[in-house]
Structure formats: structure tokens, C-alpha cells
Amino acid sequence: MTRSAEQVMQILYALRSAGVTDPRVLHAMERIDRAHFIRGLFANRAHEDVPLPIPCGQTISQPSVVGLMTQALAIQPRDKVLEVGTGSGYQAAILSLLARRVYTMDRFRSLVTSAREVFERLGLHNITAFTADGSHGLPDQAPFDRILVTAAAEDPPGPLLAQLRIGGIMVLPVGQSDTVQTLLRVTRTGEKGFDYDELRPVRFVPLVEGIGPE
């Protein structure tokens, strides 16, 4: 399935209406067709600005939220980025067009396997996907210039704060999983210094400890 010019215009309109104005982010989102990351029943709704179900009871985020989170990260071309919560792989694919290298982790092996297949098919060779509990981060590859968490924790996980480079930025939803959460941008200003900005209300699936059963 390929997108019509009208579908691309609709997505760009939804992004701009939500406040996504960074030309690099808009261009990356124009290049990656979300339909590659959605299978089955909901595939025909891939171009709507809504979250949709993916396997393992998880969700692919709404494109405007993906755009806002990506914009808030202010990624530089040489950056090494960690994403916690691979899910479908859509967000990681967008990140991969903006950064030098992307590491992405999910607790469900089957999601990681499917996402890797799509990365391969699209020729996105600067993404490495792992099955692991991302709340511990990826100490072997730390520090990261940017960290994006796409599942909600009650507070920013300590290991992720520790793996952020000084001057680096982390974007994540925080709050209880069954309520509206807050999208937070954390900037590391020094060895012990962090600045916190509340960006907007969001709703994400919870960050869950341990490896999933599938």
C-alpha cells in the first residue's frame, strides 16, 4: 500500500496543527510511511492522526505526538539516541533519519523481531533493536545525547537519567498509567543538575518491569 498525496498532506496538516514546525522533523515524517508499521485490521487507518493497536496489547502512538516528541528532542545529526519502547518501530524509524545512531529496546521479543524486519526492508541500517527491560537503559552504549521513552513511568527512571550525557535531553511521559500523564523534557545541565519542562498532557501505555512473555 502506498500513500496518496492527499494522505501525506493530511498528516502534514495534523502535525502543523499540533505545533510541529521543525522542517527536519516534518521532512522525516513525510518520508516514513506509517502503514509499514501497522498490520491487520487497522492497516487502512494508518494515515489518520490517531493511536492504533499493535500486537502484545500495545499501541503505536499518534503521528502528531510522535512529531512533538521528536521535535522536543532537538536531535543533532551526530547524536546517539536511545528509545525505550520500540513497539511497532515507527518512532525509531523517524529518529533514525535525524540521528547518527539509534538504539531501541522493547520488553516483547516479537515486537522487536517485527520492527527489525521493517527497518531492514526500508534500508534503515543505523538502528539497533534489543529485547530487554529498558528501564535499566543500555549501560554498554551510554552516555546518550538523547533519550526518548514511549511508555509512562511514575518518575524518570534513575538509570536513564544517569545514562544521559551532560547537555543531553530526555523526553518521556510521566504519571500513573490509568490517568492522563505529562510529557516531560529533562535537560541534563551538569553531573547532578537536571532541568524539567512540562510539555503537554499525553496518554501512553505503562512502562512495565521485566521481559514480556511473547
Catalytic residue among 61, 96, 114, 135: 61
Rounded to whole angstroms, the Cα distance separating 10 from 30 reads: 11
Of the pair 7, 110, the CB lying nearest ligand SAH is at 110
Q: Can you give the binding site for ligand SAH, defined by CB under 6 A?
A: 58-61, 84-85, 87-88, 90-91, 105-108, 111, 133-135, 150-151, 205, 207-209
Of the pair 82, 169, the CB lying nearest ligand SAH is at 82
Give me the least distance between CB of 141 and ligand SAH, in Å please: 15
Of the pair 6, 179, the CB lying nearest ligand SAH is at 179
Q: Which long-range contacts (CB under 8 A, 24 or more apart) does 115-118 make?
A: 115/37, 115/86, 115/87, 115/88, 115/89, 116/89, 118/36, 118/37, 118/88, 118/89, 118/93
Give me the least distance between CB of 59 and ligand SAH, in Å please: 5
Give me the least distance between CB of 198 and ligand SAH, in Å please: 21
Helix H segments across 19-133?
A: 23-31, 63-73, 90-98, 109-122
Bridge-based pairing state of the strands 181-188 and 194-202: antiparallel
Of the pair 90, 103, the CB lying nearest ligand SAH is at 90
Give me the least distance between CB of 60 and ligand SAH, in Å please: 4
Known catalytic membership, residue 61: yes
Q: Are 156 and 170 in contact (CB under 8 A)?
A: yes
Q: Which residues are catalytic?
A: 61
